[in-house]
């Protein structure tokens, strides 16, 4: 086989563009942009190789075979458009897969027609520079096919031109410029050498595939000078995003999301793919937080543990600790931002609960110390009176009263000992059934029949939760001696979870339904319902009595949303 200069140009062009495609793919083998570019270079390389073999063919039959082999060229224009779309609008087509058949179906149809019929290409023609394509003069399909390819190339260039004028990223602007040049030169060579010059009887073969050298040169320069494919915020994170438990978001310089990980999607309650392409301000509960954080990162270069609030898809506020930094190109320009967010809902909830517990503890301490002070004042008065009285029966009554006051002080101190653990530890998730059984283990109520249906529910409450259940069960022993059974169940409503504890005793009169939760009503040396209400309220849980007198007591414990969850049943 003799090789002429045009065949040599085509084969060199094919080798170089394939090498470029392999190099780009090797930078990130998971990136859709890199994969599409590899396919584009692969099909273009085959086109150039087949055309070089046709140009240098020594026989008509060999040239005809390689002319048919070039039919795969029809996939190059749609792949070029696909690449441009992914470059200018990352991940924009992930949720519009119906476009792919429209894009690639014509390529498949034209390719099949070229391979199986003579409606487009007929037989190769011996001309200057070697064998060239022979097109059917009996059909409009050659014109339709070429027009389709030109339109696709023009559309790809227009999208790239639009991106060039709209992006504010200098690096991407320069990348787009050289991609436009590469596609434009290739398309121009194709139109000139395939249609215009042959029509003017100018002796030159089709140099479309040879012009891939220009495309390779332009894209290669963009890679070397402007880090095309090399430094891409999305590619930086691909290998680490999936392994991180904290939410990660990668932004372009305009503040649009180009990549996230599953942890972030789970945090905000959305599908990972739906985050990409959206402005990062959509993540924040207060849109102004985005501007504040970006400004701080730009000013400082990085940001650590900045507390802000994300918004879930349902509109729920999610407190997060946000850290971020700038991604810079080799020339120092801003290529994007990376942010790491940690859900601190549990921490904030614990902090609020501990704050509530400390406030309640301070109040209880103040009340107890006030009671003790008052009692000591009374005791001191009785002692002074006793000193001025002669011994006798009246003096004995004073002594008896003094003993009672000393007992009041002792009861107050014992009561203070009971609630001193309030808020000492952070609230935790507790299984209601297990906590209840631990609480009643201190009482002898085994003679009562019971029904429990709370084993698969957990609540977020102070570790003293079991003492609440102890107080409820002790209420039966103390005030419902005729009761023979009790139950502990739950229901769900719009307000949250309702734990229902009831017995079949005499019930509680309407006049006492609130008084039983007052401090004065409880015995000083026991937890009582007063302290039970205080323990529950630390994490926003409330309790009330809703039973009917004569039909038994009924206590309803309302657990708000977010403070309860169901465990997996066996």
In sequence order, what are the residues at sequence separation of 6 or more whose Cβ sits closer than 8 angstroms to the Cβ of residue 396? none
CB 237 within 8 A of CB 260: no
User: Which of these ranges, 98-107, 313-322, 361-370, 548-557, has the smallest mean pLDDT?
Assistant: 361-370
Binning pLDDT at 50, 70 and 90, where does residue 404 land? confident
Does pLDDT of 300 surpass 90? no
Beta strands in 350-462 (DSSP E): 428-431, 449-452, 457-461
Find, among 354, 324, 165, the residue nearest to 247 by Cα: 324
Alpha-carbon gap, residue 512 to 518, rounded angstroms: 10
User: Which range among 216-220, 360-364, 407-411, 512-516 shows the weakest confidence by mean pLDDT?
Assistant: 360-364
Q: Which residues contact 466 (CB under 8 A, 6 or more apart)?
A: 435, 436, 438, 439
Question: Which helix (H) or strand (E) covers residue 107, if one does?
Answer: helix 99-116
Q: Is the pLDDT of residue 486 over 90?
A: yes
Alpha carbon distance 160, 173 (integer Å): 9
Beta carbons within 10 angstroms of residue 196's beta carbon: 11
pLDDT of 42 over the 90 cut: yes
Q: List the structure tokens of 2.
A: 């003799």
- What whole-number distance in Å separates Cα of residue 423 and Cα of residue 351? 10
pLDDT (average), residues 314-326: 86
In whole angstroms, what is the distance from residue 459 CA to residue 490 CA? Answer: 12
Structural tokens at position 186: 């290739």
Confidence of residue 524 (pLDDT cuts 50, 70, 90): very low
Please tell me the predicted confidence (pLDDT) of residue 197: 63
Q: Which pair of tokens denotes residue 481? A: 């001696």
HEC-encoded secondary structure of 1-54:
CCCCHHHHHHHHHHHHHHHHHHHHHHHCCCCHHHHHHHHHHHHHHHHHHHHHHH
Percentage of residues of the chain with pLDDT beyond 90: 20
Contacts of 492 (CB under 8 A, 6+ apart): 498
Give the other-Cβ count within 10 Å of 201's Cβ.
Answer: 6
How far, in Å, CA of 558 to CA of 491, rounded?
Answer: 10
pLDDT of residue 265: 81
What's the pLDDT score for residue 22?
Answer: 93
Distance between CA atoms of residues 234 and 335, nearest Å: 11
Condensed to tens digits (0 to 9), the pLDDT of residues 425-449 reads 778 899 999 999 998 887 888 889 9
List, for residues 341-399, the tens digit of each pLDDT value.
888 887 877 777 677 666 666 666 666 666 677 777 777 776 766 666 666 656 677 67
Instruction: Give the bridge partners for 437, in sequence order.
Output: none
Distance (Å, whole) CA 271 – CA 262: 8
pLDDT of residue 363: 60
Q: Please tell me the least confidently modeled range out of 70-74, 157-161, 262-266, 319-323.
A: 262-266
pTM for this predicted structure: 0.49
């Amino acid at each position: 086989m003799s090789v002429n200069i045009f065949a040599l140009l085509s084969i060199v062009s094919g080798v170089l563009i394939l090498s470029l495609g392999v190099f780009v793919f090797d930078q990130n083998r998971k990136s859709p942009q890199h994969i599409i570019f590899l396919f584009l270079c692969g099909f273009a390389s085959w086109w150039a190789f087949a055309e070089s073999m046709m140009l240098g063919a020594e026989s008509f039959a060999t040239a005809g075979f390689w002319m048919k082999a070039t039919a795969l060229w029809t996939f190059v224009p749609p792949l070029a458009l696909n690449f441009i779309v992914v470059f200018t609008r990352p991940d924009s087509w992930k949720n519009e897969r119906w476009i792919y058949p429209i894009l690639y179906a014509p390529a498949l149809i034209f390719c099949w027609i070229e391979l199986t019929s003579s409606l487009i290409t007929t037989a190769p023609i011996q001309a200057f520079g070697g064998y060239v394509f022979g097109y059917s003069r009996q059909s409009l399909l050659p014109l339709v096919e070429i027009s389709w390819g030109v339109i696709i190339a023009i559309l790809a260039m227009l999208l790239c031109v639009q991106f060039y004028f709209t992006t504010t990223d200098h690096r991407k602007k320069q990348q787009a410029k050289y991609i436009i040049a590469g596609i434009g030169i290739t398309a121009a060579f194709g139109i000139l050498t395939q249609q215009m010059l042959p029509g003017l009887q100018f002796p030159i073969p089709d140099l479309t595939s040879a012009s891939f050298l220009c495309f390779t040169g332009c894209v290669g320069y963009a890679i070397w000078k402007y880090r095309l494919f090399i430094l891409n915020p999305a590619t930086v994170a691909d290998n680490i995003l999936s392994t991180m438990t904290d939410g990660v978001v990668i932004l372009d310089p305009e503040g649009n999301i180009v990549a996230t990980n599953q942890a972030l999607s789970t945090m905000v309650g959305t599908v990972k793919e739906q985050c990409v392409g959206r402005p990062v301000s959509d993540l924040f509960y207060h849109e102004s937080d985005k501007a504040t954080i970006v400004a701080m990162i730009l000013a400082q270069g990085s940001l650590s543990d900045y507390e802000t609030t994300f918004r879930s898809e349902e509109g729920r506020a999610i407190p997060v600790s946000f850290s971020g930094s700038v991604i810079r190109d080799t020339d120092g320009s801003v290529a994007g931002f990376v942010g790491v967010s940690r859900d601190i809902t549990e921490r904030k909830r614990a902090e609020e609960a501990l704050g509530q517990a400390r406030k309640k503890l301070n109040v209880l301490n103040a009340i107890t110390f006030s009671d003790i002070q008052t009692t000591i004042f009374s005791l001191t008065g009785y002692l002074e009176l006793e000193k001025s009285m002669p011994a006798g029966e009246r003096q004995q009554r004073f002594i008896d009263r003094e003993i009672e006051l000393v007992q009041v002080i002792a009861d107050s101190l014992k009561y203070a000992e009971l609630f001193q653990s309030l808020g000492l530890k952070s609230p935790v998730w507790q299984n209601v059934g297990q906590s209840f059984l631990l609480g009643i283990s201190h009482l002898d109520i085994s003679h009562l029949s019971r029904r429990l249906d709370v084993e698969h529910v957990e609540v977020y409450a102070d570790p003293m939760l079991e003492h609440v259940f102890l107080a409820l069960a002790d209420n039966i022993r103390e005030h419902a001696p005729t009761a023979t059974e009790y139950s502990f169940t739950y229901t769900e409503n719009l307000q949250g979870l309702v734990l229902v504890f009831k017995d079949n005793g005499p019930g509680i009169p309407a006049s006492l339904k609130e008084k039983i939760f007052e401090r004065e009503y409880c015995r000083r040396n026991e937890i009582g319902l007063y302290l039970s209400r205080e323990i529950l309220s630390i994490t926003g849980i409330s309790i009330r009595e809703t039973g009917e007198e004569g039909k038994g007591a009924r206590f309803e414990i309302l657990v708000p949303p977010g403070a309860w969850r169901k465990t997996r049943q066996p």
